[in-house]
């Protein structure tokens, strides 16, 4: 049997900005859900992402600043160690020249003893020499045999004669070994000058090698011209030119970020060592410094992803719940609207039927009166009494009037079902009242109607109009589902419970299993292209519930459908 099914929610045919949210009678719930989900998710997730990015950047910047501060502290501590080392040796030379005369210092054995004393007391001295005002080395103690060498053209000699003391750049000199010199100018009592000079070859790289730069860090000395004074892990060996931008000389440690040719980022701390040509450079690999942060970054992103997923899942569940509730309420609203419209239509039909019946009753009364008058006259006149054809015609007229009167009474009865309180009803009588309106359609389609309702069946309790509407809807659907020469069977029987079971079986096309479970849902219909609203069976289901009964359906495709209705024989209490 073809069922009335819900005209499911119509889908939007466009996705552009002009697409309306209201389509026909129903809202476009898919778009409402999408807008609600997107807007709610945006308002919930954007602040989370914003603060996560803000926290990420602040933490990263804080770690970078901390890395710069650590590099700066390391450079400050290291330059102090270097400055102390050089000052210590300057003071040692000053002590030597103050406690010995030029003649004593000019004595090579005496000078050798002084060098041994400096080795034992301070260490770090390679050799020591005494140079007169002309630049000639008068005395020398050390491994290179440089006595008699003339240094008047050496830069360190000129600086010492000008400033009184000098610490030289790293240079090769006559010995062809990288070294620095510390020289002091001393004035004798007879106002002549001489210079005491000591050299250091390997101490500065040794001191810097002990600096804890960690990982791929580096610490080295460079002069203002960019020439390496100690070996560098990144820029090469001593006296090689390093391609590095140096800050201006200040009394503060400066930090900056530099990028090598191999795209490696470094944090560099620079410090000019006072009274020397040296600039201390401490380098730290930014990648290694930030590696703990990068591991934390992965964890942060994972937690952020999990948090966003949980938020999205929650928003999806809440949005789906509320949109479904909205859809259900909208369907109920539309259902009740159609039910009210249907009730008004039925009431209008009832009033129309009552009016037609009333108007027909008047001429029927006249016809009945006149036919009765003719029959009475026939009894008084002999010539009419013998006219059998006339008498038979009058009887036919009276029978037809009686039949028309019965039909008009049924119309009036159908149109006046206004009682609200349940009353006892004879099921067979109500069924006859409904079938009288469908008998013509049954005759046109050659549908055979088989009624098996026992006379001793208990009366059912309910509203006559609602029961008529239930039966009318089901029988109408049965007629629509059956082709010509169909068969409609109506049977009723008493049950063990206080109910009467009414079976309405047709030989129609049947209902598929996937549609059968939606048969009583509002607006679900397989006949939408034929004008079906999907409300007939939904209204029928509601009316049966209002009568205190229940309704089931059984169907097989191409075999037919059976509606099973249980109607109460006593008043049922509402739960």
- In terms of domains, do 449 and 519 share one? yes
Tell me the β-bridge partners of 554. Answer: 562
The reply to whether 401 falls in a domain is: no
Last residue of a domain, one of 291, 313, 328: 291
CATH code of residue 153: 3.30.450.20
Which SS3 state, helix, strand or coil, does residue 411 take? Answer: helix
Q: Would you state the structure tokens that stand for residue 31, as one six-digit string?
A: 């778009």
Report the run of H or E that residue 568 belongs to, with start and end. strand 560-568
- In terms of domains, do 546 and 455 share one? yes
- In terms of domains, do 151 and 256 share one? no
Segments forming the whole domain that contains residue 263:
205-291
Phi and psi at residue 459, in whole multiples of 5°?
-70, 145
CATH code of residue 464: 3.30.565.10
pLDDT of residue 13: 37
The answer to whether residues 558 and 2 touch, using CB atoms and an 8 Å cutoff, is no
pLDDT band at 22 (very low <50, low <70, confident <90, very high): very low
- In terms of domains, do 554 and 484 share one? yes
> Comparing 112-126, 241-255, 296-310, 514-528, which segment has the lowest mean pLDDT?
514-528
Phi and psi at residue 2, in whole multiples of 5°?
-70, 125
Share of the chain above pLDDT 90, in %: 26
Strand 550-556's sheet: what is its strand order? Answer: 448-452, 487-494, 499-506, 560-568, 550-556
Distance CA 37, CA 46 (A): 13
pLDDT digits (tens, 9 = 90+) for 168-209: 999 988 888 999 999 999 988 888 889 999 999 888 888 888
pLDDT digits (tens, 9 = 90+) for 468-506: 888 988 888 888 888 888 899 999 999 888 899 999 999
Distance CA 279, CA 246 (A): 9
Distance CA 325, CA 373 (A): 70
Q: What is the DSSP string of 130-195?
A: EEETTSBEEEEESSS--TT-B-TTSHHHHHHHHHSEEEPPPB-GGGTS-BEEEEEEEE-TTS-EEE
pLDDT of residue 533: 54
- In terms of domains, do 462 and 542 share one? yes
For residue 222, which of 231, 211, 213 has the smallest C-alpha distance? 231
Average pLDDT (325-349) is 74
Please say if the pLDDT value at position 109 is more than 50.
yes
The reply to whether 534 falls in a domain is: yes
Q: What angle do CA 92, 98, 102 make, to 5 degrees?
A: 115
Q: Would you state the structure tokens that stand for residue 471, as one six-digit string?
A: 């039966």
Buried b (16+ CB within 10 A) or exposed e, 185-214: bbeeeeeebbbbbbbbbebbbebbeebebe
pLDDT digits (tens, 9 = 90+) for 345-367: 666 666 666 667 667 777 877 88
pLDDT band at 288 (very low <50, low <70, confident <90, very high): confident
- In terms of domains, do 244 and 191 share one? no
- In terms of domains, do 426 and 453 share one? yes
Please say if the pLDDT value at position 11 is more than 70.
no
The reply to whether 128 falls in a domain is: yes
The answer to whether residues 486 and 448 touch, using CB atoms and an 8 Å cutoff, is yes
Mean pLDDT (the chain, rounded):
82
Distance CA 489, CA 563 (A): 11
Sign of the torsion formed by the C-alpha atoms of 568, 570, 574 and 575: negative
Q: Which comes out higher in pLDDT, residue 356 or 322? A: 322
pLDDT digits (tens, 9 = 90+) for 122-161: 888 999 999 998 999 999 999 988 889 999 988 899 999 9
The reply to whether 364 falls in a domain is: no
- In terms of domains, do 144 and 234 share one? no
pLDDT digits (tens, 9 = 90+) for 236-267: 899 999 888 888 888 889 998 888 888 888 88
Distance CA 42, CA 469 (A): 51
Distance CA 279, CA 227 (A): 10
pLDDT digits (tens, 9 = 90+) for 26-44: 568 888 899 989 999 898 8
The reply to whether 271 falls in a domain is: yes
Report the run of H or E that residue 271 belongs to, with start and end. strand 265-272
Buried b (16+ CB within 10 A) or exposed e, 258-272: eeeeeeeebbbbbbb
The number of beta carbons lying within 10 Å of the beta carbon of residue 238 is 19
Orientation of helix 536-546 relative to helix 291-380, angle to 10° = 80
Which SS3 state, helix, strand or coil, does residue 558 take? Answer: coil
Please say if the pLDDT value at position 559 is more than 90.
no
Report the run of H or E that residue 376 belongs to, with start and end. helix 291-380
Beta strands, E only, 448-542: 448-452, 460-462, 487-494, 499-506
pLDDT of residue 526: 64
Which SS3 state, helix, strand or coil, does residue 248 take? Answer: coil
**Number of domain units in the chain:** 3
Last residue of a domain, one of 245, 269, 291: 291
The count of residues in the chain is 575
pLDDT of residue 216: 72
Average pLDDT (86-115) is 90
For residue 114, which of 44, 198, 234 has the smallest C-alpha distance? 198
> Comparing 75-79, 221-225, 365-369, which segment has the lowest mean pLDDT?
365-369
Last residue of a domain, one of 256, 291, 326: 291
- In terms of domains, do 192 and 209 share one? no
For residue 445, which of 490, 491, 470, 481 has the smallest C-alpha distance? 481
pLDDT of residue 220: 93
Strands 487-494 and 448-452: parallel
- In terms of domains, do 240 and 265 share one? yes
Residues 6+ apart with CB under 8 A from 434: 468, 471, 472, 475
Q: Would you state the structure tokens that stand for residue 380, as one six-digit string?
A: 């008084």
pLDDT band at 298 (very low <50, low <70, confident <90, very high): confident
- In terms of domains, do 137 and 238 share one? no
Buried b (16+ CB within 10 A) or exposed e, 370-380: ebeebbeebee
- In terms of domains, do 195 and 215 share one? no
The reply to whether 297 falls in a domain is: no
Dihedral of the CA atoms 375, 377, 383, 388 (nearest 10)? Answer: 0
pLDDT of residue 271: 93
């Amino acid at each position: 049997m073809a069922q009335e099914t819900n005209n499911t929610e119509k889908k939007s045919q466009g996705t552009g900005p002009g697409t309306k949210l209201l389509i026909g009678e129903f809202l476009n719930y898919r778009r409402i859900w999408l807008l609600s989900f997107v807007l709610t998710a945006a308002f919930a997730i954007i602040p989370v992402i914003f603060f996560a990015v803000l926290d990420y950047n602040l933490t990263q910047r804080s770690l970078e600043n901390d890395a710069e501060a650590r590099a700066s502290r390391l450079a400050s501590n290291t330059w102090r160690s270097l400055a102390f080392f050089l000052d210590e040796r300057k003071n040692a030379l000053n002590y030597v020249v103050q406690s010995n005369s030029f003649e004593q210092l000019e004595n090579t054995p005496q000078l050798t003893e002084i060098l041994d004393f400096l080795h034992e007391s301070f260490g770090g001295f390679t050799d020591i020499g005494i140079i007169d005002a002309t630049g000639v080395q008068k005395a020398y103690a050390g491994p290179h045999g440089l006595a008699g060498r003339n240094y008047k053209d050496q830069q360190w000699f000129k600086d010492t004669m000008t400033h009184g003391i000098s610490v030289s750049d790293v240079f090769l000199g006559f010995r062809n070994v990288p070294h620095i010199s510390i020289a002091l100018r001393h004035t004798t009592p007879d106002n002549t000058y001489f210079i005491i000079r000591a050299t250091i070859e390997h101490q500065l790289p040794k001191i810097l090698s002990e600096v804890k730069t960690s990982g791929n860090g580096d610490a080295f000395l460079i002069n203002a011209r960019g020439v390496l004074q100690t070996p560098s892990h990144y820029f090469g060996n001593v006296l090689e030119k390093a391609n590095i931008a140096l800050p201006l000389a200040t009394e503060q440690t400066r930090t900056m970020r530099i990028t090598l040719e191999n795209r490696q980022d470094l944090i560099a701390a620079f410090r000019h060592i006072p009274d020397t040509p040296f600039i201390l450079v401490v380098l730290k690999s930014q990648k290694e410094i930030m590696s703990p942060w990068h591991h934390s970054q992965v964890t942060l992103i994972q937690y952020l992803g999990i948090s966003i997923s949980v938020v999205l899942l929650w928003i999806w569940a809440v949005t789906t719940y509320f949109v479904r509730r909205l859809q259900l309420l909208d369907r109920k609203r539309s259902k009740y609207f159609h039910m009210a419209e249907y009730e008004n239509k039925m009431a209008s039909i009832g009033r129309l039927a009552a009016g037609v019946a009333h108007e027909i009753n008047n001429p029927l009364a006249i016809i009945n009166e006149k036919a009765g008058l003719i029959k009475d006259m026939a009894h008084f006149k002999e010539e009419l009494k013998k006219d059998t054809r006339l008498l038979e015609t009058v009887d036919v007229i009276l029978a037809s009037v009686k039949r028309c009167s019965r039909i008009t009474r049924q119309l009036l009865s159908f149109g006046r079902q206004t009682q609200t309180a349940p009353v006892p009803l004879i099921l067979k009588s109500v069924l006859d009242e409904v079938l009288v309106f469908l008998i013509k359609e049954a005759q046109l389609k050659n549908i055979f109607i088989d009624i098996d309702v026992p006379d001793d069946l208990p009366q059912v309790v309910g509203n006559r109009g609602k029961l008529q509407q239930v039966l009318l809807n089901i029988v109408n659907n049965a007629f629509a589902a059956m082709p010509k020469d169909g068969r409609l069977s109506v049977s009723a029987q008493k049950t063990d419970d206080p109910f009467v079971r009414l079976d309405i079986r047709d030989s129609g096309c049947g209902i598929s299993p996937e549609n059968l479970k939606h048969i009583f849902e509002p607006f679900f219909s397989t006949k939408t292209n034929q004008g079906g609203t999907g409300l007939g069976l939904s209204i029928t289901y509601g009316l049966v519930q209002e009568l205190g009964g229940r309704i089931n359906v059984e169907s097989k495709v191409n075999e037919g459908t059976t509606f099973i209705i249980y109607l109460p024989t006593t008043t049922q209490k509402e739960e």
